[in-house]
Structure 1
Amino acid sequence: MPTYQWRKSSYSADASNCVNVAAANGVIAMRESDDPDVVLTTTPAALRFLIRGAKAGDFDRLQEG
């Protein structure tokens, strides 16, 4: 696994329940600060698609039957 330079949002302050993000070699890595051994990876394009969809409300009704 590559060595990542993890960053957390400045909005997180000193909270321990944050999402950390890193980038290396064209890959975006994400982890939850409460469970840092679990790392999800994606491409910048896929993450951009997810963020745009979330902002547009595309996933708001996923939990409805």
Structure 2
Amino acid sequence: MKAPKGDLYAAPLDGEWQKSSLSSGNGAACVRLMRIEGGVAVDDSKRPDLAPLRYTRAELAAFLQAAKAGEFDHLLEG
């Protein structure tokens, strides 16, 4: 049985943050991800005062599949 989503927020952030190789060198566009028990934490390195968001593996997989299919491309227009 999978753990409830609320358990993701109890999981420790004791792994290593990973950022895209396409992130800018000055940190201006740095969204970072970390594998945690039951899912993935997502962080904005420019805002260390904010708690990372946490998603189940299924939620992140659905997002990545949609992003790869171009479903969010319109959000980057003009």
TM-score, normalisation: structure 1: 0.71
Question: How many residues of Structure 1 are paired with residues of Structure 2 in the alignment?
Answer: 62
Unaligned runs of 5+ in 1: none
Q: Could you tell me which amino acid in structure 1 is paired with residue 13 of structure 2?
A: T
| Equivalence map 1:10-21=2 (5 Å) | 10-12=21-23, 14-17=25-28, 18-21=30-33
The residue aligned with 2:20 is: 9
Q: Please report the RMSD computed on the Cα atoms of aligned residues, expressed in angstroms.
A: 2.2
Q: Could you tell me which amino acid in structure 1 is paired with residue 63 of structure 2?
A: L
Query: In 2, Cα distance between the equivalents of 1:44 and 1:37?
Result: 25
The residue aligned with 2:39 is: 27
The residue aligned with 1:57 is: 70
TM-score, normalisation: structure 2: 0.62
Higher normalized contact order (CA 8 Å, seq sep 6+, divided by chain length): 2
Query: In 1, Cα distance between the equivalents of 2:65 and 2:44?
Result: 21
% identical aligned pairs: 39
Q: Give the CA deviation at 1:54.
A: 1.8
Q: Give the CA deviation at 1:61.
A: 5.3
